[in-house]
Amino acid sequence: MSGHFNLWVYLSASPLTWLGVTLAAYLVGDTISTATKRHPMANPVLIAVALISVLLVTTETGYGAYFQGAQFIHVLLGPATVALAIPMVRNRDQIIRHWRAMGLALGCGALTGVVTAIVLAKALGGSELLVRSMAPKSITVAIAMGISRENGGEPALTAALVMFTGVLGAVAVTPLMNMLGIKDWRARGFAAGLAAHGLGTARALSVHPIAGTFAGLALAMNGLMTALVAPVLLRLLP
Amino acid sequence: MVLHGFVFLVIAQLAGESLAQLLSIPVPGPVMAVAALVALFWAQGLVPAAVGEAADVLLRHLSLLFVPAGVGVLQHLPLVRAEWFVIVVTVVASTLLTMTVTALVFSLVVKHVEEGQS
| Domains: count for chain A | 2
- Neighbouring residues of B2: CB distance < 8 A, sequence distance ≥ 6: B50, B53, B54, B57
Whether residue A212 sits in one domain with residue A107: yes
Local structure of residue B76 (DSSP, 8 states)? G
Residue B1, min C-alpha distance to chain A (Å): 16
User: Which pairs count as long-range contacts for B16-21, CB under 8 Å and 24+ apart, including other chains?
Assistant: B16/A82
User: Final residue of a domain: which of A21, A54, A75?
Assistant: A75
Residue A45's CB: how many other CB atoms inside 10 A? Answer: 27
Sort out which chain A residues have CB atoms less than 8 A from B27's CB and list them: 146, 150, 227-228
- Cβ <8 Å between A169 and B52: no
- pLDDT-derived band at B29, boundaries 50, 70, 90: confident
Percentage of chain A exceeding pLDDT 90 = 64
Best of B7, B23, B47, B65 to disrupt the A interface by mutation (most A CBs within 10 Å)?
A: B65
> Which residue did the predictor score with more confidence, A106 or A33?
A106
Q: Which of A126, A129, A139 is nearest to A165 (CA)?
A: A139
**Identity of the residue in B26, B37, B80 whose CB atom sits nearest the CB atom of A82:** B37
Does position A3 have pLDDT exceeding 80, yes or no? no
Residue A47's CB: how many other CB atoms inside 10 A? Answer: 20
What's the burial of B35, exposed, middle or buried (CB within 10 Å: 0-12/13-18/19+)? middle
Does position A66 have pLDDT exceeding 90, yes or no? yes
Residue B38, min C-alpha distance to chain A (Å): 6
- Cβ <8 Å between A121 and B86: yes
Between CA B88 and CA A202, with CA B99 as vertex, the angle to 5 degrees is 90
For residue range A160-181, list pLDDT tens digits in order: 899 899 989 988 999 999 999 9
Query: Identity (one letter) of the amino acid at A191?
Result: A
- Cβ <8 Å between A196 and B99: yes
Question: Residue A9's pLDDT is what?
Answer: 81
Whether residue A204 sits in one domain with residue A95: yes
- Cβ <8 Å between A142 and B30: yes
- Cβ <8 Å between B106 and A101: yes
Alpha helices in chain A (DSSP H): 2-12, 15-35, 44-58, 63-74, 77-82, 85-90, 92-97, 99-123, 128-134, 141-150, 155-180, 185-207, 209-236
Whether residue A105 sits in one domain with residue A220: yes
Best of A19, A55, A82 to disrupt the B interface by mutation (most B CBs within 10 Å)?
A: A82
Rounded to the nearest integer, the mean pLDDT of chain A is: 91
Q: Which helix (H) or strand (E) holds B73?
A: none
| Cα dihedral B71, B72, B76, B80 sign | negative
Sort out which chain A residues have CB atoms less than 8 A from B28's CB and list them: 142-143, 145-147, 150, 227
Best of A60, A75, A81 to disrupt the B interface by mutation (most B CBs within 10 Å)?
A: A81
Q: Is A126 helix (H, G, I), strand (E, B) or coil?
A: coil
Least confident among A16-30, A59-73, A195-209: A195-209
Whether residue A116 sits in one domain with residue A37: no
pTM of the model: 0.85
- pLDDT-derived band at A215, boundaries 50, 70, 90: very high
Sort out which chain A residues have CB atoms less than 8 A from B65's CB and list them: 73-74, 76-77, 80
Question: Residue A238's pLDDT is what?
Answer: 65
Local structure of residue B75 (DSSP, 8 states)? G
Determine the average pLDDT of the residues in A173-197.
95
Structural domain harbouring A27: 2-75
Does position A203 have pLDDT exceeding 90, yes or no? no
Domain ranges of chain B: 1-65, 72-118
Whether residue A226 sits in one domain with residue A152: yes
Percentage of chain A exceeding pLDDT 70 = 98
- Cβ <8 Å between A82 and B76: no
- pLDDT-derived band at B54, boundaries 50, 70, 90: very high
For residue range A116-129, list pLDDT tens digits in order: 999 999 999 999 99
Question: Residue B25's pLDDT is what?
Answer: 78
Interface ipTM > 0.85: yes
User: Final residue of a domain: which of A75, A95, A122?
Assistant: A75
Nearest C-alpha in B relative to A220: B34
Distance (Å, whole) CA B95 – CA B73: 20
Sort out which chain B residues have CB atoms less than 8 A from A108's CB and list them: 101-102, 105
Question: Residue A132's pLDDT is what?
Answer: 96
For residue range A68-86, list pLDDT tens digits in order: 999 999 999 899 989 989 9
